[in-house]
Structure 1
Amino acid sequence: MTKEELASLPEKVRIAIEAGKAAAQACDNDGGSANCDRVVIPVPGLRASQLPSLPGYVQKKSRYHQQGIHLDTPWPGIGNRNYAGVQAMHQSLKAQGVNCYVYYQID
């Protein structure tokens, strides 16, 4: 990830969070599974001090995942609402050219 891409992340994430909030609010049924948890932006090899301030946390590299920023989901809901919001965030970031994926934590 280039310095310019890193510098543009806060605004892109802000736009994605607004899209997620709107999608979550539009979903009237919060039933369903709670396994769609977060959008992750991979940042392999970068130190936390090199990253811009983003809502979320940095998960270190593990045996199964590369290092990445796990973005917060600042809306109510754990089932279908959370799923709708996370999917909207993911689609928004992808449309803005950000390399990201959806992280699922199986309960």
Structure 2
Amino acid sequence: MGAGLSKYSELTKLIDEALSIGQQAADKTDDGGTANLDKLVISGLKGVRESTLKNAGINCYKHWSYAGDFVISRSYGQGNKNTAGIEAAKDYLKSKGVDCYVHSQMD
């Protein structure tokens, strides 16, 4: 593994843990509600290439408007399930010191 990839191994581990926690939260939630496009965004990575994060095992894509922000490619359902999962994942990452937020967009 190259030096660049090992630099992101802790972030990869934290994201994997957060997504698992998000799935647990989503599994406990009814999938009613609106089908908004809520996504978890990791920020503060200006100058980092999307390919670097993907090579480190982070399934993401570059935010279309903000340099250094990457959208995590994960959904937990359509309505309330997705919201619960994304919010739980964000809360976990924030508790671990990861700069992140939820991007909400009407579909």
TM-score under structure 1 length normalisation: 0.79
User: 1:58, 1:68 within 8 Å by CA — same for their partners in 2?
Assistant: yes
Partner SS state of residue 70, structure 1: strand
Distance 1:55 1:48 in 2: 9
User: 2:42, 2:99 within 8 Å by CA — same for their partners in 1?
Assistant: yes
Question: Is 2:72 the counterpart of 1:71?
Answer: yes
Q: 1:49 to 1:79 in 2, by over 3 A?
A: closer
User: 1:21, 1:74 within 8 Å by CA — same for their partners in 2?
Assistant: no
1:22-41 superposed Cα distances (whole Å, 9 cap, x missing partner): 000011x2111222511101
Distance 1:103 1:24 in 2: 17
Question: Is 2:88 the counterpart of 1:88?
Answer: yes
Aligned equivalent of 2:25, options 23, 26, 42: 23
User: 1:24, 1:84 within 8 Å by CA — same for their partners in 2?
Assistant: yes
Percent sequence identity is: 35
TM-score under structure 2 length normalisation: 0.79
Q: 1:67 to 1:106 in 2, by over 3 A?
A: farther
Match of 1:6 in 2: 8
Distance 1:57 1:47 in 2: 10
How many residue pairs get aligned? The number is: 100
| Structure with greater strand percent | 1
Deviation at 1:49, TM superposition (A): 4.2
